[in-house]
């Protein structure tokens, strides 16, 4: 699973996902992309599951770019623990995603296959997505 090698702070605030994505909202590498239309948090497991779905669908043809990285720790307290006594320990990593963020890019495959692969990957994620192509955005 993806996780950062080193972080400045071990625990971070929860934060809020307001507004639209400014950075990472246009296709930079591939010809087709999966774009988030609502906000949410993507766990490292979800990023990997979507990547596996894409690569299996295109049968390892073409190239896939992952444009998100889980760099935010999510903490949890043990089950049946009383309130108080500080914040729990980091359990897993998430990537905060705002509407408009490009998640995956794909090139080297025909349009129909790319759309099917990216739609399949979008089904693995906890928020709504849409498939876009480079020539649509021009």
Mean pLDDT, residues 54-64:
93
**Residues 33 and 68: beta-carbon distance below 8 Å:** no
What residue spans define the domains of the chain? Answer: 32-74+89-137
Q: Is 22 helix (H, G, I), strand (E, B) or coil?
A: coil
Give the Cα separation of 52 and 41 in Å (integer): 19
- Mean pLDDT, the chain, rounded, equals 95
- Predicted confidence band of residue 25 (pLDDT cuts 50, 70, 90): very high
Q: Is 26 helix (H, G, I), strand (E, B) or coil?
A: coil
CATH among 1.20.1540.10, 3.90.1170.10, 3.30.1240.10, 3.30.70.1450 for 32-74+89-137:
3.90.1170.10
Residue 75: per-residue pLDDT: 97
| Token pair listed for 110 | 């025909």
DSSP β-ladder status, 72-76 and 32-36: unpaired
Is 0.75 topped by the overall pTM? yes
Q: Model confidence over 85-114: pLDDT tens digits?
A: 999 999 999 999 999 999 999 999 999 999
Whether residue 135 is predicted with pLDDT greater than 70 in this model: the reply is yes
Mean pLDDT, residues 71-86:
96
Residue 60: per-residue pLDDT: 80
Residue 1: per-residue pLDDT: 87
- Predicted confidence band of residue 138 (pLDDT cuts 50, 70, 90): low
Whether residue 137 is predicted with pLDDT greater than 80 in this model: the reply is no
Whether residue 52 is predicted with pLDDT greater than 80 in this model: the reply is yes
DSSP type of residue 115 = H
């Amino acid at each position: 699973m993806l996780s950062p090698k080193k972080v400045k702070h071990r625990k971070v605030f929860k934060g809020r996902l307001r507004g639209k994505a400014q950075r990472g909202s246009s296709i930079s590498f591939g010809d087709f992309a999966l774009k988030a239309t609502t906000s949410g948090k993507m766990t490292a497991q979800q990023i990997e599951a979507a990547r596996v779905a894409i690569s299996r669908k295109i049968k390892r043809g073409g190239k896939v770019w992952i444009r998100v990285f889980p760099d935010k720790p999510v903490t949890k307290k043990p089950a049946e623990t009383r309130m108080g006594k500080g914040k729990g320990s980091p359990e897993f990593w998430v990537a905060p995603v705002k509407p408009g963020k490009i998640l995956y890019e794909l090139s080297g495959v025909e349009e129909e296959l790319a759309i099917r692969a990216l739609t399949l990957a979008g089904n693995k994620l906890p928020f709504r997505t849409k498939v876009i192509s480079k020539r649509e955005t021009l």
